Chain A
């Protein structure tokens, strides 16, 4: 079974009009060709500076920034909606939930949330519409499972979610609570539940920094109305995590906590979030898998979750079935009650064009700034909350832990594969690939001339005889290898090979693993699944891996062995500093243990250490031993190595940092005290992309055209034509719901009509025969393989006698 996906279209040469002057590593465009037609990004320059969140709208309107990359406060976002000269990029970047403490109370006490029926009643007690509509002023959407309507897996559980009949129904909730509390031996005295003569008290911790404070007040009020005595504590992050996540649930420092979750880039097939949010084994439910704490247990959910997690399914249907079972189970007696998916608003001037955005992360994607420009200006001015923080660390091995650095860094390098901003599916970015797999049950032989890195011998050695793997992915790196690093040196296979060997070395070389303990321990289980590598030609690398997924793009993403983000000489110099000289560390913990700097290539002090090491390499004509001897070939000569060392030193002399990469921008200036960074366009003629390659346009929008309500007599067939507008292969699902009971009467997929985009929803006579006369609700959901976002519409179906 093979699949080949082409990478982004490349541009291998330039027209005569484009003449480049290369001066000391900086590249200046001499002709007046349009940037859009030249290699590299749309803008010649992108600057980042720190802007306080409350003054960001003013800065934007004053023209001092073109785009703000930090989410605005709800009120400010609302004020900017429809404002002249401003456009808002919106992304569902936050999810909110309540976590309930289900630990059993000691004798003589009663913890209401230990009773499953009361946890279920909470689903009906919280007013999600109020949270979305009033507290977040329309900038949020209600959610009842961990999957928001904007998530890619919403299509998987659409009918479970929309057909669940979970709604705000305080009377129903209070009745359920009353029944359960009475059964537990409590009695309602003057509107307050009492147990053993004491009022039943609920400790609610509400975060204080944002709208979760109001949500805490709302939930407290709803719990009070249900008869509980509620003590609300408003806490900031540090205090809250201490109370909730670091205390034994059986100590009852809290009963309810208002959680908030950040969302990353879109992911097509989730298996970790559902486990983290619903399955106790992954340690994100009360008890947190901390030794000595009471633990919330759900063995059935754990079993399902671990099947999903280990990939123990043979098809997409089987995978979806597990996912649906978990979601269904999550809705009953939940320990985590989902509230809303909050839209983060990132404002930009209306002049900003071409800014491709991710459906989940908004403008914080690898695509956005590559294609963005402001007509009449060669610069895009970006504001962010910070450019530099005290925790900023730029090293690709154990750094980049803060979003501010990552938001800059992603514009400086081209990853081999990235999740598509609209679909979340892993997509070739600068590498292309070909996948062959015999999974989930079969194995294929790893060829005898494939090699693995022997960390003891510091050499690539042939794989052991009889080695087998589930899949092989052939990566084609030609779009890297025909081009240059920012310092002008050619990108070669040696760069890929070194970075692969580096990962294995840190994990398996006992001396290195002893220094970077955590990095080694956390990467080893992943690297254990890599069974061999083989260079098939100058551009291609075969990777044999024990991993299977029904989606071959997922296999390729898993098997991608290198990010190819920095030249080997920088990695080698850092390795020397960390493991031989012991004057720096990759990770924060190793830095603390050895009392050395946590290596950051933008810090001049650290970069100077790397520069000095490069100088020593050059003086000694050093080449890392073993790593470049692969498949009977030597990938680097001494002259090439010396040229690279010199180019990197020249780069440091010019820019005072050692962030050298291969993306459409290079880091021209990084000034922490001024909270300023300047990214200049990398117009190297061999760079394979132009701005047009990254300009994907606005996220595709699906829409269901207005549909008139339908009428059907009892026992009659009824059909409804529905027109859907949108790109890709479109599908339409429907649910027929009895609004009186909330029950799903029928569900299905609408049949596509002969004309494109039109579907027919058919309800059979056998179904209508079983209905009572009255209004029914027909929920429609359109989806497409071209976008993660679905479109929904509700239609009335009147059943007449």
Chain B
């Protein structure tokens, strides 16, 4: 069993490499990186012309000064090197877990090391999204399995409709609605931000304050994802519940609880666990819109900062590496779990 797993691990690491190579080629060979960074430099120069024109009155001197600043900016953005010299170095570096420095994005205390930036943002996102996903999964599995034994009932129909509504509801809209109701009308929870104003001073008080502020965004994320979660689990377990081996188990006189746990849930577990693990891995990507609505400085906003405004290709490569690495690790966990969850799964040696 271990050899095939090792082969899979190697192939997933290959995926990691391919993703990074594709990213670099996409950014570099297409000219995207050069063009977007060049555009940013041009835009800054246009603004600078107007600003500097307030004090430099000689047009020739103005042009000289601007040329110097342009050269500086181009060097700063790496535009003085062709992409095939600039970008592959980033890949080589990140593969050795040196994520390098971001060009403009920084941590709260001023560090521009990408690893520091990620480590600062990640806990905020995990608190929000991972908590929301775990709650959603717990509700989804519990209610979904329970509903699969009551298919066609009035409750089943109600939950199915509710699931559709939940699925269709945009997270940012739900967020604003909840802020309006629970924040402004009922005044039960904070309306946004990560801390109270003024923020508490002590570390524990700050942590509790952070959790308090996370309540509404977590509720938002749960409400927009719990419907689909319940429905998916219900459908997966329902399909398994109609298999012959379940009928046989029941015919043998096994209790319904044992049938559900051993013969339905365990068989249906791999796709459910797959969704859960990949979902957990995906949570580190953050949720841009919900984070924006609640003023939450998480990974979603970080990725947005990396690609918008002044794109930071070092940060893009670093984040892509990290996300892909987490995906690869999640896939490996799943490969191992499949074997334990479903006895039918065996890898050819």
Stretch at the interface among B91-99, B255-263, B305-313, B321-329: B305-313
CA distance A49 to B45 in the complex (A): 31
Considering only CB atoms, which chain B residue lies closest to A242 in the complex?
A: B39
Given contacts A55-B191, A522-B52, contact A669 B198 (CB under 8 A): yes
For A58, the chain B residues whose CB sits under 8 A away are 179-180, 183-184, 191
Given contacts A603-B110, A674-B195, contact A522 B69 (CB under 8 A): yes
CA distance A784 to B185 in the complex (A): 47
Considering only CB atoms, which chain B residue lies closest to A284 in the complex?
A: B46
A310 to B110, Cβ gap below 8 A? no
B198 to A242, Cβ gap below 8 A? no
CA distance A237 to B308 in the complex (A): 8
For B195, the chain A residues whose CB sits under 8 A away are 671, 673-676
Contact of B176 among A55, A288, A521, A591 (CB under 8 A): A55
Contact of B198 among A59, A238, A290, A678 (CB under 8 A): A678
CB distance from A756 to the nearest CB of B (A): 38
A674 to B193, Cβ gap below 8 A? yes
Contact of A241 among B43, B101, B194 (CB under 8 A): B43
In B1-54, which residues have CB < 8 Å from any A CB?
35-36, 38-40, 42-43, 45-46, 48-50, 52-54
CA distance A528 to B64 in the complex (A): 14
Considering only CB atoms, which chain B residue lies closest to A261 in the complex?
A: B50
Contact of A673 among B45, B71, B108, B184 (CB under 8 A): B108
A525 to B56, Cβ gap below 8 A? yes
A50 to B193, Cβ gap below 8 A? yes
B50 to A47, Cβ gap below 8 A? no
CA distance A604 to B65 in the complex (A): 33
CB distance from A322 to the nearest CB of B (A): 15
0/1 interface trace, chain B 82-111, chain A, CB 8 Å (1 if under): 000000000000000000010111101111
In A350-400, which residues have CB < 8 Å from any B CB?
381, 388, 390-391
Given contacts A522-B69, A603-B109, A678-B198, contact A283 B45 (CB under 8 A): yes
For A49, the chain B residues whose CB sits under 8 A away are 193, 197
- Interface residue B57 (Cβ < 8 Å from any Cβ of A): yes
Stretch at the interface among B153-161, B273-281, B289-297: B289-297
A52 to B293, Cβ gap below 8 A? yes
- Interface residue A64 (Cβ < 8 Å from any Cβ of B): yes
Stretch at the interface among B72-80, B137-145, B222-230, B242-250: B72-80
Stretch at the interface among A169-177, A273-281, A744-752: A273-281
For B54, the chain A residues whose CB sits under 8 A away are 272
For A522, the chain B residues whose CB sits under 8 A away are 48, 52, 56, 65-66, 68-69
CA distance A62 to B187 in the complex (A): 9
For B309, the chain A residues whose CB sits under 8 A away are 237-238
- Interface residue A478 (Cβ < 8 Å from any Cβ of B): no
CB distance from B107 to the nearest CB of A (A): 8
A276 to B50, Cβ gap below 8 A? yes
Considering only CB atoms, which chain A residue lies closest to B60 in the complex?
A: A525
CB distance from A447 to the nearest CB of B (A): 25
CB distance from B106 to the nearest CB of A (A): 6
In A747-787, which residues have CB < 8 Å from any B CB?
none
Considering only CB atoms, which chain B residue lies closest to A290 in the complex?
A: B42
CA distance A241 to B38 in the complex (A): 10
Given contacts A52-B292, A54-B176, contact A672 B108 (CB under 8 A): yes
A310 to B53, Cβ gap below 8 A? no
CA distance A672 to B295 in the complex (A): 12
Considering only CB atoms, which chain B residue lies closest to A236 in the complex?
A: B308
B46 to A283, Cβ gap below 8 A? yes
For B56, the chain A residues whose CB sits under 8 A away are 522, 525-526
0/1 interface trace, chain A 217-246, chain B, CB 8 Å (1 if under): 000000000000000000011100110011
B62 to A517, Cβ gap below 8 A? no
Stretch at the interface among A183-191, A333-341, A494-502, A593-601: A593-601
- Interface residue B61 (Cβ < 8 Å from any Cβ of A): yes
CA distance A526 to B68 in the complex (A): 15
- Interface residue A129 (Cβ < 8 Å from any Cβ of B): no
Given contacts A518-B68, A592-B76, contact A674 B197 (CB under 8 A): yes
A245 to B110, Cβ gap below 8 A? no
CB distance from A382 to the nearest CB of B (A): 11
For A391, the chain B residues whose CB sits under 8 A away are 104-106
For B105, the chain A residues whose CB sits under 8 A away are 390-391
CA distance A276 to B305 in the complex (A): 29
Contact of A272 among B46, B53, B108, B187 (CB under 8 A): B53
CB distance from B69 to the nearest CB of A (A): 4
B198 to A675, Cβ gap below 8 A? no
- Interface residue A4 (Cβ < 8 Å from any Cβ of B): no
For A791, the chain B residues whose CB sits under 8 A away are none
- Interface residue A309 (Cβ < 8 Å from any Cβ of B): yes
For A390, the chain B residues whose CB sits under 8 A away are 104-106, 305
B65 to A595, Cβ gap below 8 A? no
CA distance A547 to B71 in the complex (A): 29
CA distance A460 to B5 in the complex (A): 75
CB distance from A245 to the nearest CB of B (A): 5
For B43, the chain A residues whose CB sits under 8 A away are 241, 245
Given contacts A236-B308, A673-B108, contact A309 B49 (CB under 8 A): no
0/1 interface trace, chain A 253-279, chain B, CB 8 Å (1 if under): 000000000000000000111011000
- Interface residue A615 (Cβ < 8 Å from any Cβ of B): no
B191 to A606, Cβ gap below 8 A? no
Given contacts A593-B75, A603-B109, A669-B198, contact A288 B42 (CB under 8 A): yes
Considering only CB atoms, which chain B residue lies closest to A275 in the complex?
A: B53
A309 to B50, Cβ gap below 8 A? no
- Across the A-B interface, the 8 shortest Cβ-Cβ residue pairs: A603-B110, A521-B68, A674-B195, A674-B199, A525-B61, A672-B108, A246-B39, A242-B39
What are 23 A-B interface contacts by the 8 Å CB criterion? A54-B293, A55-B293, A58-B179, A58-B180, A58-B191, A236-B308, A238-B36, A246-B35, A272-B53, A275-B53, A276-B49, A283-B49, A390-B105, A390-B106, A522-B52, A525-B55, A528-B61, A598-B106, A604-B109, A605-B111, A674-B197, A675-B194, A676-B198
Could you tell me which B residues sit within 8 Å of A by CB distance?
35-36, 38-40, 42-43, 45-46, 48-50, 52-59, 61-62, 64-66, 68-69, 71-73, 75-76, 101, 103-106, 108-112, 176, 179-180, 183-184, 187, 191-199, 292-295, 297, 305, 308-309, 311
Q: A245-B39, A593-B72, A675-B295 are in contact. List 18 more A-B contacts (CB 8 A).
A: A58-B179, A241-B42, A242-B38, A242-B39, A271-B53, A283-B45, A283-B49, A290-B42, A309-B59, A381-B197, A390-B305, A521-B69, A525-B62, A525-B65, A587-B72, A673-B108, A675-B193, A678-B198
